[in-house]
Structure 1
Amino acid sequence: MNVYIVEVAKRLAARGVEVDIFTRATSREMPPVVELAPGVLVRNVIAGPFEELDKDELPRHLCGLTSGVLRAEAAHDPGHYDLLHTHYWLSGQAGWTAKRRWGVPLVHSMHTMAKVKNAALANGDKPEPAERVLGEEQIVASADRLVANTGKEARELIDLYGADPARVTTVSPGVDLSMFRPESPLLARGLLPHRTGPARRRLRLPRDAYVLLFVGRIQPLKAPDVLLRAVARMLVHDPSLRSQLVVAIVGGPSGSGRCRPEGLQNLAAELGISDVMRFEPPAPQAELADWYRAADVTVVPSYSESFGLVAVESQACGTPVVASRVGGLCTAVADGESGVLISGHDPTDYAAVLHRVHAEQGLHARLARGAVRHAHRFGWDATVDNLLDVYSGAVYTGAVLPDENAVPAEVTA
């Protein structure tokens, strides 16, 4: 979501649309206003303690965030802002109040939805609270436009939340194709074997290794444990792979995963695969692109994904994806062309597919070619084109004031 907001904001500003991004300050050293790019200001609002908070603690600071947003607008002449675009349900709550005060249209992107997540919980994960469900229902009732990442998400908004189909528009997120690109055009065309270039040297990976990559938050929803269990099964089936296999986990604990920050390392030890593992902290985009280029396959075994940006970034670098057949991954990955989608989360199924991609002559090269082609459908410029159409439609038709009886009033307290 952070990548989405930053990339869209920069491109909107380049087209003459001034953008203010409101976010909660997490440090006393943060200045009140920072210029992210020409035409893009980040406003760090004081709302709660100056520290990173678990997402379950954030709702209690919504009043502070909302007040900060309203104060920033009050410092300008009336009509300073033409439109609000909120992201995730917490920001939507602040946006709902600002919309009423300013009389401007509200566009909202869910990114993830409580009802969808609760229907596909991983083992050990806790359901999203009723407070969030009610908050999302209120936003759906009050927003002038709802932006879905995929057609499937659009249907979920309509079927699960009763969204007005006329207010729902599908706009796929993008990927920075100048940053995420194949290491070599020859590799993208399948004319070089696996990964042979400088990315592996920079990351200290053997040239002849079979590298499996997981990128993302370490939490049950993202199911990195499925990859580890699949690797253990692969090594039982073919012990000779142990000398070639490298499994890289790039990311940090998040959500309920913070309760067991060493959980994956412990699981690797229990499975007897610690010797093939590399655990790396979250990486900046340039380094992340190197990880994609260095990998043979990126594995995305999530229980729920509104889109699956990791999958598209990987494919843009020429690396096929093996992913679960859920949510936006069905759009982000072209099954059989740019990667393989797997129904369910049985590690045995993942092990079989990952072994086949390694062993079957020509399969990896074909998927790598398809990965680059498929990823080029998702440039950020196309995303911004479509968002500008959404914004224009919302401004032209005017803001629709919400039904105050749509959900219990205490949600906005």
Structure 2
Amino acid sequence: MSAARDILAHPGAAPRRAEDPVRLLTFSTLYPSPGRPNHGVFVENRLLHLVGGGEAESTVLAPVPWFPFRGGSSPAEALRHGLRVHHPRFLAPPGLGMLTAPISLYLTARAALARLRERGFDFDLLDAHYLYPDGVAAVWLGQELGKPVVITARGSDVSQLPDYRLPRQAIRRAIAGADALIAVSSGLRDGLLALGAPAEKVTVLRNGVDLDLFTPPVSRRAARAALGLGEEPVLISVGHLIERKGHHHVIGALPMLPGHSLLILGEGSERGALLALARRLGVEERVRFVGAQPHASLPGWYGAADAMVLASSREGWANVLLESMACGTPVVASPAWGSREAVRSPAAGLVLDETTPEAVAAGVRRLLAAPPDRAATRAYAEGFGWEETTAGQMQVFRRVLAARAGA
């Protein structure tokens, strides 16, 4: 055995039976941590429903970026919703992170895994989320350990990062090295095929929505009053305040939507620019920057709004669409990947043909001129529970494990 394999070698474990739960090592930098409680919550939600089915168990390795002198830290280990989550720090120098992240992430994860395996930890399959740098590092770990790797592609790891030469090369190698790939929408699947993924390696498993958490308010009037909202039509836009989320298009639509107000939930580097845009357009009094909100508080905001507007330029599968619809609030969505798969009925809302302030304004006017019954919107969302996705994940995992065993 090589020295590289020695450091990660497991001291020995009882034979596994086919009926035993699949032991996953879920690996992703897109995962909530004490310092960033809303970061990657969509990965956590998917995993919680998976392990809740009883056919899988998981330990989470969720490295957090770190750079000397920047300050800030997260506990090395945390317990979230019954799952043990490990947060080793990986070096992420400003301006160089895109190039150095795969090797830094790999070395950090490798050292953390060595410590875990010294304590008797073992797993059957590496469940990685996001192709770059996470999937790249996961494939290196899987090759070193002799463990199968399944990577879930989620959006900009397919639509944006491959535009850069070195990440594109690394992504294509990760695609080749993974045992299986999961795409959260058909559009992402097409993107993976364009990057060279064999069709038989890719499975489309959409995201779902927590139908117990995201529910319509008992009283919309009370929900609106609790948030200080009046009788005017209220739009809501949810997501990080970054360019690709398209909040500027929604603000830009307000001059064409007199009497409408806008709630923006999220934080990010574009906050100042968005505030300046609202002032320049003379709509500052109609835009309310709410800031980032705990996931559990989102239903109150969705349920109080008349429509949710998603103006993103790129998405794999926008969870906010399902969350809003589950609260009874219809959506106006940009034509990003996944939108037409999520919004397939007038009860859900509508998808724009292009993403401009003019198109957003026209879409909002069209939707609110004859809004769907909110109970019908909720009923539509009920078709997007997690059961189908969980079953599909388990099929992928067991197929990969069976193929490894046969080999």
Is 1:321 aligned with 2:321?
no
Task: Output the CA distance in 1 between the equivalents of 2:155 and 2:133.
Answer: 12
Partner residue in 1 for 2:266: 251
Partner residue in 1 for 2:5: none
1:29 Cα deviation from its structure 2 partner: 5.9
Is 1:99 aligned with 2:142?
yes
Query: In structure 1, which of residues 258, 277, 283 is the aligned counterpart of residue 287 of structure 2?
Result: 277
Q: Deviations over 1:215-270 (max 9, x none)?
A: 001111111111111111223xxxxx2xxx221111111xxxx2x44000000011
Partner residue in 1 for 2:80: 36
* Pairing of 1:107-186 with structure 2 (within 5 A): 107-114=150-157, 116-117=159-160, 129-158=164-193, 160-184=194-218
Query: In structure 2, which of residues 53, 60, 65 is the aligned counterpart of residue 21 of structure 1?
Result: 60
Task: Output the CA distance in 2 between the equivalents of 1:32 and 1:295.
Answer: 39
Partner residue in 2 for 1:212: 235
Q: Deviations over 1:147-196 (max 9, x none)?
A: 011222212211x1111111111111111111101114xxxxxxxxxx73
Secondary structure of 1:262's partner? helix
Task: Output the CA distance in 2 between the equivalents of 1:315 and 1:398.
Answer: 41
Partner residue in 1 for 2:387: 381
Q: Is the 8 A contact 2:102 2:134 kept in 1?
A: no
Partner residue in 1 for 2:400: 394
Worse-superposed segment, 197-206 or 145-154: 197-206
Is 1:5 aligned with 2:31?
no
Amino acid at match of 1:204: G
Query: In structure 2, which of residues 233, 242, 247 is the aligned counterpart of residue 224 of structure 1?
Result: 247
Amino acid at match of 2:88: V
Is 1:71 aligned with 2:114?
yes
Consecutive aligned runs of 4 or more in structure 1 exceeding 6 Å deviation: 53-57
* Pairing of 1:76-87 with structure 2 (within 5 A): 76-77=119-120, 80-87=122-129
Q: Is the 8 A contact 1:24 1:47 kept in 2?
A: yes
For structure 1, the 5+ residue unaligned runs are 119-126, 185-194, 236-240, 402-413
Task: Output the CA distance in 2 between the equivalents of 1:312 and 1:249.
Answer: 17
Task: Output the CA distance in 2 between the equivalents of 1:196 and 1:31.
Answer: 40
Secondary structure of 1:176's partner? coil
Amino acid at match of 1:277: V
Percent identity over paired residues: 26
Q: Deviations over 1:327-348 (max 9, x none)?
A: 1111111253311111112321
Is 1:365 aligned with 2:375?
no
Partner residue in 1 for 2:346: 336
Q: Is the 8 A contact 1:104 1:399 kept in 2?
A: no
Q: Is the 8 A contact 2:335 2:355 kept in 1?
A: no
CA RMSD of aligned residues (A): 2.7
Amino acid at match of 1:331: E
TM-score of the two chains, using structure 2 as the length reference: 0.81
1:323 Cα deviation from its structure 2 partner: 0.7
Task: Output the CA distance in 2 between the equivalents of 1:231 and 1:69.
Answer: 50
1:271 Cα deviation from its structure 2 partner: 0.5
Secondary structure of 1:18's partner? strand
1:65 Cα deviation from its structure 2 partner: 2.5
Task: Output the CA distance in 2 between the equivalents of 1:3 and 1:306.
Answer: 15
Partner residue in 1 for 2:315: 305
Partner residue in 1 for 2:15: none
Where relative contact order (Cα < 8 A, 6+ residues apart) is larger, the structure is 1
Q: Is the 8 A contact 1:334 1:374 kept in 2?
A: no
Task: Output the CA distance in 1 between the equivalents of 2:252 and 2:207.
Answer: 31
1:304 Cα deviation from its structure 2 partner: 1.2
1:57 Cα deviation from its structure 2 partner: 7.1
TM-score of the two chains, using structure 1 as the length reference: 0.80
Amino acid at match of 1:202: A
* Aligned length, in residue pairs: 361
Task: Output the CA distance in 2 between the equivalents of 1:390 and 1:6.
Answer: 19
Task: Output the CA distance in 1 between the equivalents of 2:315 and 2:277.
Answer: 24
Partner residue in 2 for 1:123: none
Task: Output the CA distance in 2 between the equivalents of 1:163 and 1:69.
Answer: 30
Secondary structure of 1:101's partner? helix
Q: 1:261 to 1:275 in 2, by over 3 A?
A: closer
Amino acid at match of 1:23: A
1:394 Cα deviation from its structure 2 partner: 0.8
1:138 Cα deviation from its structure 2 partner: 1.3
Q: 1:138 to 1:76 in 2, by over 3 A?
A: farther
Secondary structure of 2:263's partner? strand
Secondary structure of 1:340's partner? strand
Worse-superposed segment, 103-112 or 5-14: 5-14
Amino acid at match of 2:305: A
Q: Is the 8 A contact 1:114 1:133 kept in 2?
A: no
Task: Output the CA distance in 2 between the equivalents of 1:3 and 1:29.
Answer: 19
